[in-house]
């Protein structure tokens, strides 16, 4: 089946919106209608709230929404990683139970992968899942869990077999966060926000039907989640762009931004806010300073080439060509952009770079860039891990000799401190 043209799709979504968009509906009601129509996530399969369109056409659909300020489905954050993973590996029951509520925004999800002892080395997870009386009993600890403090469900990577080698002893589950055996403690970050958490499990329970995939397939499924994460599927790009117009739907959407999204206010800042650079340079006149101008030029070259690399990937996909290496490249490029942008914003601020909060430039937004940019090269897999992936999987260089995959996991050296 060949994909419809962009014009056809634009015309279709425009007509549908004309007939259905109603800002007086509640946010959940509207998103329900939208989910059922397939226009909320048009690249999803037709059986599951989508229209089976290629990913590359999604921006066109989004533009049509933006054109009339129509509110979209909830698609920021870990929820999209959960959805992508469940679409690929979940049972029909999982899809039925979870997908729609993900899109309406009724449920929030978190990713319970990293642990104090295993971050880059995710397959070293030591949280245990033991089958007792036909239920999975979970014990252990996760950390850096974004959203856990307001999530209903978590994607859990846990060890089910300690005698198997590392990658084969893991299984993947959907965990109900709201139960007595789960304790969530927010962690404060260096920028003062608290969007990630420590999560402790003490005999937390998972019904067997909430295992995802087969026993021992946890690593493989986690890889799907991570791949989507590295492609930026969880980006919070559009979070703040709710229209100020009147109508129940807008009001609900604005309330969602204020409450649910509060801890993530800093997410756009961690990417470097390249969008603010030229505007600031023009305002202050720094655009005419040869040194600053050159720094800005270098940043713009980096940012634009990164954007166009992502566009090339999308175009290739539209043509049905195989996925290239852009996934890991994009993430690595974004770290470079964030660092360079923080540097340029510093020099544009001059002495004001020393100030923060309401005394800082742009009400503290610039200061927030400076203290948030370091997250970009750590979250979602560090730059070093991206480079390992690129060199070993894309460039096919010889693999690093490993000493942790040739023996039962229980015999692998682990952190004595963490």
Partner 1 sequence: MSRFAFSDEQDAFREVLRRFLEEVSPPSEVRRLMEEEAGYDPAVWRRMAEELGLTSVHIPEEYGGQGFSLGELAVVLEEMGRALLCSPFFATAALATTAILNAGTEQEKRELLPGIATGETIATLAFTEENGRWDAAGVETVARQDGNVWRLEGTKSFVLDGGIADLLVVLARLEGTDGENGLGFFTVAGEAEGVARTGLQAMDPTRKLARIAFAGAEAQPLGEVGQAAAAFARTLRQAAALLANEMVGGAEKLRESAVDYANLRVQFGRQIGSFQSMKHRLADMLLEVELAKSAAYYAAAAAAEDDAALPAVAALAKASASEAYLQTAITTIQIHGGIGFTWDNDTHLWFKRAKSSEVFLGDGAHHREAMMANWHLMEAGDET
Ligand X SMILES: Cc1cc2nc3c(=O)[nH]c(=O)nc-3n(C[C@H](O)[C@H](O)[C@H](O)COP(=O)(O)OP(=O)(O)OC[C@H]3O[C@@H](n4cnc5c(N)ncnc54)[C@H](O)[C@@H]3O)c2cc1C
CB 249 within 8 A of CB 71: yes
Work out whether 384 is an interface residue with ligand X (CB under 6 A): yes
Binding mask 130-169 for partner 1 (x = CB under 8 A): -------------xx-------------------------
**Which residue of 358, 395, 396, 398 would you call a contact of partner 1, by CB under 8 A?**
358
**Residue 114, CB half-sphere, CA atoms under 13 Å: how many?**
19
Pairing of strands 109-112, 153-159: parallel
**Which residue of 45, 59, 192, 208 would you call a contact of partner 1, by CB under 8 A?**
192
Active site residue 229: yes
Instruction: Pick the stretch among 215-223, 272-280, 363-371, 381-389 that binds ligand X (CB under 6 A).
Output: 381-389
**Which residue of 114, 191, 211, 335 would you call a contact of ligand X, by CB under 6 A?**
114
Size of the site for ligand X (CB under 6 A): 19
Work out whether 414 is an interface residue with partner 1 (CB under 8 A): yes
Q: Which of 273, 391, 270, 276 is nearest to 335 (CA)?
A: 270
Work out whether 382 is an interface residue with partner 1 (CB under 8 A): yes
52 binds, among partner 1, ligand X, none (CB under 5 to 8 A by kind): none
Instruction: Pick the stretch among 17-25, 112-120, 125-133, 360-368 that binds ligand X (CB under 6 A).
Output: 112-120
Binding mask 18-47 for partner 1 (x = CB under 8 A): ------------------------------
Q: DSSP assignment, residue 383?
A: H
Work out whether 98 is an interface residue with ligand X (CB under 6 A): no
Return the C-alpha torsion angle 33, 84, 234, 122, nearest 10. Answer: 150
CB 316 within 8 A of CB 364: no
**Which residue of 104, 111, 224, 377 would you call a contact of partner 1, by CB under 8 A?**
377
Return the exposure string of 386-412: e unless at least 16 CB atoms fall within 10 Å of the residue's CB, then b: bebbbeeeeeeeeeeeeebeeeebeeb
Q: DSSP assignment, residue 192?
A: S
Q: Which of 338, 344, 361, 358 is nearest to 286 (CA)?
A: 344
Alpha helix ranges (H) inside 90-167: 92-104
Residues within window 289-328 making contact with partner 1, judged by CB under 8 A: 291-292
Of these residues, 115, 229, 295, 368, which one is catalytic? 229
Handedness of CA 28, 30, 31, 32 (dihedral sign): positive
Instruction: Pick the stretch among 139-147, 240-248, 349-357, 389-397 that binds ligand X (CB under 6 A).
Output: 139-147
CB nearer ligand X, residue 243 or residue 382? 382
Taking residue 161's Cβ as centre, other Cβ atoms within 10 Å add up to 18
Work out whether 260 is an interface residue with partner 1 (CB under 8 A): no
Q: What are phi and psi of 108, to 5 degrees?
A: -115, 145
360 binds, among partner 1, ligand X, none (CB under 5 to 8 A by kind): partner 1
CB nearer ligand X, residue 197 or residue 211? 197
CA 75 vs CA 28, 35, 37, 71, 81: distances in Å: 13, 11, 16, 11, 10
Query: In sequence order, what are the residues at sequence separation of 6 or more whose Cβ sits closer than 8 angstroms to the Cβ of residue 211?
Result: 136, 171, 172, 173
Binding mask 177-216 for ligand X (x = CB under 6 A): -------------------x--------------------
**Which residue of 5, 120, 319, 323 would you call a contact of ligand X, by CB under 6 A?**
120
Q: Which of 196, 33, 21 is nearest to 100 (CA)?
A: 33
Minimum distance, C-beta of residue 126 to ligand X, in the bound complex (Å) = 13
Q: Which residues are catalytic?
A: 229
List interacting residues with ligand X (CB under 6 A): 110-111, 113-114, 119-120, 144-146, 196, 375, 378-382, 384-385, 388
């Amino acid at each position: 089946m060949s994909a419809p043209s962009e014009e056809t799709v634009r015309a279709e979504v425009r007509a549908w919106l004309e007939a259905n968009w109603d800002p007086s509906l509640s946010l959940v009601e509207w998103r329900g209608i939208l989910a059922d129509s397939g226009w909320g996530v048009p690249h999803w399969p037709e059986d599951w709230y989508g229209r089976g369109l290629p990913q590359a056409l999604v921006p066109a659909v989004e533009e049509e929404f933006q054109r009339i300020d129509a509110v979209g489905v909830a698609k920021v954050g870990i929820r999209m990683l959960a959805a992508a993973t469940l679409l690929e590996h979940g049972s029909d029951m999982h899809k039925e139970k979870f997908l729609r509520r993900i899109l309406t925004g009724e449920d929030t999800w978190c990713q319970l992968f990293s642990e104090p002892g295993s971050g880059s080395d995710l397959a070293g997870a030591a949280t245990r899942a033991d089958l007792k009386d036909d239920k999975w009993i979970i014990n252990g600890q996760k950390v850096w869990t974004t959203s856990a403090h307001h999530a209903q469900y978590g994607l859990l990577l846990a060890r089910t077999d300690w005698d198997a080698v590392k990658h084969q002893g893991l299984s993947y589950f959907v965990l109900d966060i709201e139960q007595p055996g789960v304790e969530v403690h927010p962690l404060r970050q260096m920028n003062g926000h608290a969007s990630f958490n420590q999560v402790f499990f003490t005999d937390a329970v998972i019904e067997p039907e909430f295992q995802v995939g087969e026993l021992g397939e946890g690593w493989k499924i986690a890889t799907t989640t991570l791949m989507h994460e590295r492609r930026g599927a969880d980006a919070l790009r559009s979070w703040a762009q709710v229209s100020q117009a009147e109508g129940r739907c807008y009001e609900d959407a604005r309330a969602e931004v204020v409450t649910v999204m509060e801890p993530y206010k800093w997410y756009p800042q961690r990417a470097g806010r390249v969008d603010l650079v030229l505007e600031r340079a023009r305002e202050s006149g720094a655009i005419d300073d040869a040194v600053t101008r050159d720094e800005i030029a270098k940043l713009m070259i980096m940012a634009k080439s990164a954007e166009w690399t992502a566009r090339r990937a999308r175009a290739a996909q539209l043509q049905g060509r195989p996925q290239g290496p852009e996934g890991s490249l994009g993430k690595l490029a974004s770290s470079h952009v964030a660092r360079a942008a923080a540097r340029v914003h510093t020099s544009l601020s001059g002495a004001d770079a020393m100030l923060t909060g309401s005394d800082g430039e742009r009400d503290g937004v610039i200061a927030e860039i400076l203290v948030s940019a370091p997250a970009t090269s750590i979250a979602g897999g560090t730059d070093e891990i991206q480079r390992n992936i690129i060199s070993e999987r894309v460039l096919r260089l010889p693999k690093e000799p490993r000493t942790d995959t040739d023996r039962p996991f229980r015999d692998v050296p682990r952190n004595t401190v963490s």
